[in-house]
């Protein structure tokens, strides 16, 4: 069994490895403490205190950095979860809607949810049929929908509420990229990209968040991209939609939690 993730040797893998070893406060803080005034004589009578003192600046720096990272992670979790814990989560009864779940990130997310609990109802909204097979006994529903068509979105949302129930988790994952500069992209390419990547998430939040807010229970996840921060020239429309999705996320984060402390947005 390989220790590498399916993506291979990446920066994320290195960062995760560092966080569990040299930047783990459970390791670095005891090492830093041990470097102060600790004398460990060996069987030959030599003293280990000098090497420990020499390493003190490094161990203290690692301890401070790991403690800062841990505190940052803790505060981020508190902020993202509105400084509260929702005890009502029951994955036997949750309904998770994933757009673009036929392949890629959405498909892997759906499979992981079913691997953890096959009773979780996973609803896939995509124009492309499923490219993966749900595990036996898993509760999966697939709805074909052109997410660039607002009338189809409205109809599919109503159908989901009628046939499955009110979603408790919405993952805005679907996205298309035609690959063109501002001047080279056709009218049709620009319109379908913006409608699919930005307008569709906006409408889905509009459709499903009121019931989440009413029950004070739910989670909205918006999948953006690094292109929102570092937009390549040939994906101008795609980058613009992902930047817009971040704005939608920030607005939702500021509006929804005020009256619904347990409704999470990430």
What is the token pair recorded at 91?
């994955």
> Quick check: is 16 catalytic?
no
Cβ neighbours of residue 123 closer than 8 Å, sequence gap 6 or more: 95, 96, 97, 98, 140, 141, 142, 143, 160, 164, 167
Provide DSSP, 159-226: HHHHHT---SEEEE-------B-TTTS-HHHHHHHHIIIIIHHHHHHHHHHHHHHHHT-EEEEE---G
Helix (H) or strand (E) holding 142, with range, is strand 140-144
> Quick check: is 242 catalytic?
yes
CA distances from 153 to 28, 77, 146, 176, 243 (A): 51, 32, 8, 16, 22
Of 124, 108, 103, 25, the residue nearest 70 (C-alpha): 25
> Which of 58, 141, 242, 258 is the catalytic position?
242
Taking every pair of Cα atoms in the chain, the longest distance, rounded to a whole number of angstroms, is 83
3-state DSSP assignment of residue 122: strand
Rg of the chain in Å (alpha carbons): 24
Q: Are 152 and 146 in contact (CB under 8 A)?
A: yes
> Which of 16, 143, 234, 238 is the catalytic position?
238
Of 224, 226, 264, 219, the residue nearest 244 (C-alpha): 224
| Active site members | 238, 242
């Amino acid at each position: 069994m390989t220790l590498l993730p399916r993506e291979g040797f990446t920066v994320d893998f290195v960062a995760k490895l560092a966080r569990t070893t040299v930047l783990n406060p459970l390791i670095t803080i005891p090492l830093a403490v041990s470097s102060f005034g600790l004398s460990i004589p060996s069987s030959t009578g030599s003293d280990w205190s000098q090497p420990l003192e020499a390493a003190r600046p490094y161990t203290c720096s690692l301890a401070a950095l790991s403690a800062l990272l841990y505190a940052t992670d803790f505060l981020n979790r508190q902020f993202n979860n509105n400084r509260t814990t929702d005890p009502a989560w029951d994955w036997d009864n949750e309904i998770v809607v994933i757009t673009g779940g036929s392949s890629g990130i959405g498909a892997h997310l759906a499979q992981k949810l079913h691997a953890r609990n096959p009773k979780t109802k996973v609803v896939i909204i995509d124009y492309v049929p499923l490219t993966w097979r749900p595990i036996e006994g898993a509760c999966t529903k697939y709805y074909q929908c052109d997410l660039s068509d607002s009338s189809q979105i409205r109809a599919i949302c109503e159908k989901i509420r009628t046939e499955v129930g009110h979603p408790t988790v919405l993952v805005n994952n679907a996205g298309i990229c035609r690959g063109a500069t501002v001047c080279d992209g056709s009218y049709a390419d620009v319109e379908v990209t913006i409608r699919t990547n930005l307008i569709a998430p906006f409408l889905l939040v509009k459709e499903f968040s009121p019931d989440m807010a009413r029950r004070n229970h739910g989670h909205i996840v918006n999948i953006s991209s690094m292109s929102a921060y570092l937009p390549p020239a040939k994906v101008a429309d795609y980058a613009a939609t992902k930047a817009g999705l971040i704005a939608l996320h920030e607005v939702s984060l500021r509006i929804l939690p005020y009256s619904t402390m347990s409704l999470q947005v990430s």
